[in-house]
Amino acid sequence: MTMVSRAVDKAYRDIRSMRVRGALDIAIYAAETLAGVVKATPGPTANIRKELARAGARLKESRPTAVSLPNAVDYVLYLGKQHKKLAEKDFRAAMAADIKAFVAEQKAALSKIAEYGSRLIKSGDDILTHCNSDTALQVIIAAHKQGKTINVVADETRPRNQGLLTVKALKKAGLKPTLIIDSACYYHMKALEIDKVIVGADAICANGDVVNKIGTAQVALAAKSLGIPVIVAAESIKFSPATVMGGLVEIEERDPKEVASIRGVTVKNPAFDVTPNEYVSMIVTEHGVMPPQAAYQLLKEKYAWEWAP
Ligand code: RUB
């Protein structure tokens, strides 16, 4: 194994094992791994691009659902195509600068979403969140930093219990979160008079359906029945261009052992579900707050490069 393929293999395993997780972090990690490939692969330019394509394909296989991953990889490969006429040294420099700019753009998008999303939160709000979305958390933390009093309820999010990461992050930010079991969502929505549900996303489809951690659809359904708005916080890197062409987002099926091992019992462990757009009140992106039905428009504007010949 070469040094490059070892590094790519490590990134693949880090994402697959969920050591690196959350849709935005996966995208940034993949882009930075590809920057490493550009730096360490011997020239000429055509050889670096070949290695990039190989590494990109491998990284895309690590987890199937978060669309931010193939979007980030495809964007870096597109950059490679844009710079293909450059000689080795200039190619490396241009790619390094462009990938760095891409990563900075993703971080800036997160800050913008935190700013816009925080304006939707009022002092005194009771908020419920599901799983561990850094983007949703940044919205809540930004509102907290503005001096708003917010109570946050996080569910456990079985089987991997990402809800524990959420309450720890909120506690670290100075909030006093409440942890509940997944099946207590509806109960607490009523008992605590939850005002808003805020979640992240792994993929947003062209029709505004939202793919996120398993259980999100149930939470949204319960919220809808109680008239509670569901706010999705997601960078445009999580919008799925493939769905414009009729493609479907693959739902990751994880090891049943994460749930239970009982001889003679079939255990199912889908990791994500699809929340239909009618259960989503709004999506907060770095381009502003929009109804889910506007997803198609954003995709057309943002991903034109992908469809370019
Ligand atoms: C994480 C998950 C998060 C989204 C958004 O699933 O569903 O809600 O990825 O996260 P997993 P972020 O734990 O299986 O990766 O807002 O941090 O990008």
Q: What is the pLDDT of residue 228?
A: 98
The contacts of residue 187 (CB under 8 Å, 6+ apart) are none
Centre of ligand 1 from the C-alpha of residue 202, in Å = 6
Token pair 């490493």 in the structure block, residue: 36
151 in helix, strand or coil? strand
- The residues, any chain, with a CB within 8 Å of residue 57's CB and separated by 6 or more, are none
Say whether pTM exceeds 0.95: yes
Please give the pLDDT value at position 308.
Answer: 62
Strands 282-285 and 272-275: unpaired
User: Ligand 1 centre from 210 Cα, in Å?
Assistant: 12
Centre of ligand 1 from the C-alpha of residue 200, in Å: 6
> Half-sphere exposure (CA, 13 Å, Cβ side) for 126?
13
**Count of other CB atoms within 10 angstroms of residue 257:** 10
195 is known as an active-site residue = no
Confidence of residue 1 (pLDDT cuts 50, 70, 90): confident
Output the CA 66–ligand 1 centroid distance in Å. Answer: 8
The residue nearest atom 12 of ligand 1, judged by CA position, is 133
Query: Atom 3 (ligand 1): residue with closest C-alpha?
Result: 133
Contacts for 268 with CB less than 8 Å, ≥ 6 apart: 253, 256, 259
The reply to whether ligand 1 has any atom less than 6 angstroms from the CB of 98 is: no
Regarding the beta carbon of 117 and ligand 1, being less than 6 Å apart is answered no
Expressed in angstroms and rounded, the spacing between residue 162 Cα and the centre of ligand 1 is: 9
Angle at 227 between CA 113 and CA 176, to 5 degrees: 55
Taking the centre of ligand 1 as the mean of its atom positions, its distance from the CA of residue 92, in whole angstroms, is: 31
Spatial distance between the Cα atoms of 141 and 20, rounded to a whole number of angstroms: 22
Give yes or no for residue 309 having a pLDDT over 70. no
Q: What is the mean pLDDT of the chain?
A: 97
- Determine the pLDDT at residue 6: 95
pLDDT at position 3, please?
Answer: 87
Q: What is the pLDDT of residues 5-39, one digit of tens each?
A: 999 999 999 999 999 999 999 999 999 999 999 99
pLDDT score at 51: 97
159: three-class secondary structure by DSSP: coil
pLDDT at residue 144 in the model: 98
Helices (H), 21-133: 23-40, 45-60, 68-82, 88-118
Determine whether the shortest distance from the Cβ of 118 to ligand 1 is under 6 A. Answer: no
Candidate of 131, 157, 199 to mutate for ligand 1, largest count of ligand atoms within 8 Å of Cβ: 131
C-alpha torsion angle, residues 285, 289, 292, 293 (rounded to 10) = -110
Residues 131-144 pLDDT 10s: 999 999 999 999 99
CA distances (Å), origin 179, targets 103, 173, 184: 32, 16, 10
Q: Which of 131, 134, 205, 209 is catalytic?
A: 131
For residue 297 the two structure tokens come to 């428009």
Name the residue of 130, 155, 162 whose CB sits within 8 Å of the most ligand 1 atoms, as the mutation to test its pocket.
162
Which residue of 18, 132, 134 sits with most ligand 1 atoms within 8 Å of its CB, as the best mutation to test the pocket? 132
Does residue 33's CB lie within 6 angstroms of at least one atom of ligand 1? Answer: no
**Whole-angstrom distance, CA of residue 95 vs CA of residue 83:** 8
202 is catalytic: yes
Give the model confidence (pLDDT) of 71-86 as tens digits. 999 999 999 999 999 9
Q: How far is CA 209 from CA 5, 81, 128, 220, 259, in A?
A: 36, 32, 20, 12, 26
* HSE value, Cβ hemisphere, 13 Å, CA-based, for 171: 10
